[in-house]
């Protein structure tokens, strides 16, 4: 997300508000799980967009992206070299593609907002490794989102992890605070220096979202005003979670569990970031 749209004040949430935000995040989690069931060669991103809108509304929520800054759809759908903010269309997905699906919803007056990059069938080994490392870097960053640390600690951890694997870390797009607005303070870059930036405090809620390129870190924006692609045309991966600081530690509000259930994946990656078990 571009940085200039942020308000410049951290809005701390009460524990009750964090639980309301968890409900909003889980609307998105369940929606991505429904979309995951339909992500396959031959499906169009517009068809997936319709599934998502129906699923969000069926949960008594409102699509968070539709109309936000005049965005025309429920999902941001960004295949292959598209980094983020791709607009759904009638082009079918094909074997070997990857696609970042970013979803937002409003429930209880709060936003949920997270993303997952899906492989379409069998994908190139180097692209599969990009997805693996990018998702791992998300949790490397989340681990640093704790009382007393700073924005730069999260950014540094993600940047080092990804650059050590030879990948480009996008600079112009960042994660963000989350609440009654989609974009709140602070900005959460995926690069930085340890000990720099705003200090994390109890009750903060942010969206952490590594956007990592197979090649150059450089990007370009297209004439539609939305679509962002890598400058060299190589693939880009994007994973995002909503996280709160609860009792000084990072607490996941969103989950990939519904996606994994749909895809038949077993994972314990989220266990360290939940103070109570997730019930599907």
Q: What is the pTM of this model?
A: 0.96
Neighbouring residues of 169: CB distance < 8 A, sequence distance ≥ 6: 158, 159, 162, 163, 190, 191, 210, 211, 212, 213, 217
Token duo for residue 189? 């870059």
The alpha carbon of residue 180 and the mean position of all alpha carbons in its chain are separated, in whole angstroms, by: 17
Each residue's pLDDT tens digit in the chain (280 positions)?
444 444 468 999 999 999 999 999 999 999 999 999 999 999 999 999 999 999 999 999 999 999 999 999 999 999 999 999 999 999 999 999 999 999 999 999 999 999 999 999 999 999 999 999 999 999 999 999 999 999 999 999 999 999 999 999 999 999 999 999 999 999 999 999 999 999 999 999 999 999 999 999 999 999 999 999 999 999 999 999 999 999 999 999 999 999 999 999 999 999 999 988 887 7
Cα 280 to Cα 278: distance, rounded to the nearest angstrom:
6
Q: Is 70 exposed, middle or buried (0-12, 13-18, 19+ CB in 10 A)?
A: exposed
| Sheet with 175-177, edge to edge strand ranges | 184-188, 175-177, 205-208, 241-246, 249-252
Q: Please count the other Cβ atoms lying within 10 Å of the Cβ belonging to residue 196.
A: 12
> Which run of H or of E encompasses 56?
helix 45-58
DSSP category for residue 115: E
The alpha carbon of residue 35 and the mean position of all alpha carbons in its chain are separated, in whole angstroms, by: 15
């Amino acid at each position: 997300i571009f940085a200039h749209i942020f308000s410049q004040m951290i809005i701390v949430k009460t524990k009750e508000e964090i639980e309301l935000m968890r409900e909003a995040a889980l609307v998105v989690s369940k929606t991505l799980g429904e979309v995951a069931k339909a992500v396959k060669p031959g499906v169009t991103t517009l068809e997936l967009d319709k599934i998502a809108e129906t699923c969000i509304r069926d949960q008594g929520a409102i699509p968070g992206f539709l109309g936000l800054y005049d965005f025309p759809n429920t999902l941001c759908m960004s295949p292959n070299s598209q980094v983020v903010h791709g607009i759904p269309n009638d082009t079918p997905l094909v074997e070997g593609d990857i696609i970042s699906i970013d979803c937002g919803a409003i429930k209880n007056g709060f936003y949920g907002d997270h993303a997952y990059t899906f492989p379409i069938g069998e994908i190139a080994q180097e692209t599969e490794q990009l997805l693996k490392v990018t998702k791992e870097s998300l949790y490397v960053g989340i681990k640093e989102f704790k009382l007393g640390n700073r924005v730069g600690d999260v950014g540094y951890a993600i940047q080092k992890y990804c650059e050590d694997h030879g990948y480009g870390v996008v600079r112009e797009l960042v994660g963000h605070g989350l609440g009654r607005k989609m974009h709140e303070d602070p900005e959460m870059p995926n690069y930085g220096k340890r000990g720099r930036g705003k200090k994390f405090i109890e009750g903060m809620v942010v969206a952490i979202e590594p956007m990592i390129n197979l090649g150059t870190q450089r990007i370009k924006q297209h004439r539609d005003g939305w679509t962002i692609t890598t400058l060299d045309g190589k693939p880009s991966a994007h994973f995002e979670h909503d996280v709160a600081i609860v009792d000084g530690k990072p607490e996941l509000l969103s989950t990939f569990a519904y996606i994994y259930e749909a895809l038949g994946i077993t994972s314990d990656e989220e266990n360290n970031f939940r103070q109570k078990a997730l019930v599907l």
